[in-house]
Amino acid sequence: MNETIKLQHSHRSIRSYKAQPVSDEMLQAIIEAGHRAPSSMNAQEISAIVVRDVERKAKIAELAGGQAWIAQAPVFITLVADFNKTDMGVRKAEQMQVIHESMEGLIVAGIDAGLVLANMMVAARSLGLGIVPIGGIRRNPQALVDLLGLPPLTFPLVGLCIGHVEKDAPLKPRMEVSTFRHDEHYDASHYQAAIDSYDTTIMEYWNQLGRTDGLTWSQNLGNNLKHVYFPQVKPVAAMQGLLNDK
């Protein structure tokens, strides 16, 4: 097993950072790793907004639901679906862009943002830095649109904290890999047994950490997936001109 795969297998989210800045050289290498990620149709419709300003990071932490590690991390990057950029190219070709009004467009932007995010995470960790992706930036998307000055046809998808590790985090157990890998066809016949086993495993993990508030995987999903946890995503995306009616 090579060092890259070892790094990927040891992924963990870091929420404790030193005050030590991330060097410009490190940050540029991480940004370029994201920039080189695959992009559907070579559209390159993802943009990255780098925030290092202390007050701006504190505001993002507040908007994301009080996630203090956003303010603590020296660097916070927001990945944005940027159909404003692609619209400029389409207009130059004397055509009219419609992909941003479709479900396909939103799916593609989400996939491409995920590819950028993954590249940046691996790059940062290969430099000895800690990271944690932040979906909570979609909790109050309009306020983030305003804070970052995002124009129409753009939308903030996901964020990333980057910094030097102050306190490391243990490796969280995953459900058995057979619930992830399906050979030749989809097979969920063993899911229930795997879920039961994982609920036990994750509770043992929380107990080892002394987390009295820890929930089973099933309980956590039940609490979060019984409703749309970020209900402002759809209306704000629509106001930004990003629809899903095609």
User: What residue ranges define each of the domains in the chain, with the CATH number in brackets?
Assistant: 3-169+227-239 (3.40.109.10), 172-214 (no CATH)
What is the pTM (predicted TM-score) of this model? Answer: 0.96
> Tens digits of per-residue pLDDT, 119-144?
999 999 999 999 999 999 999 999 99
Q: How far apart are the first and last CA of the chain?
A: 44
What is the rounded average pLDDT for all residues in the chain? Answer: 97
Instruction: Please report, to the nearest 10 degrees, the dihedral formed by the alpha carbons of residues 147, 149, 150, 152 taken in order.
Output: 120
> Tens digits of per-residue pLDDT, 174-217?
999 999 999 999 999 999 999 999 999 999 999 999 999 999 99
Q: How confident is the model at residue 10 (pLDDT cuts 50, 70, 90)?
A: very high
pLDDT at 244: 85
pLDDT at 148: 98
| Phi and psi at residue 157, to the nearest 5° | -100, -50
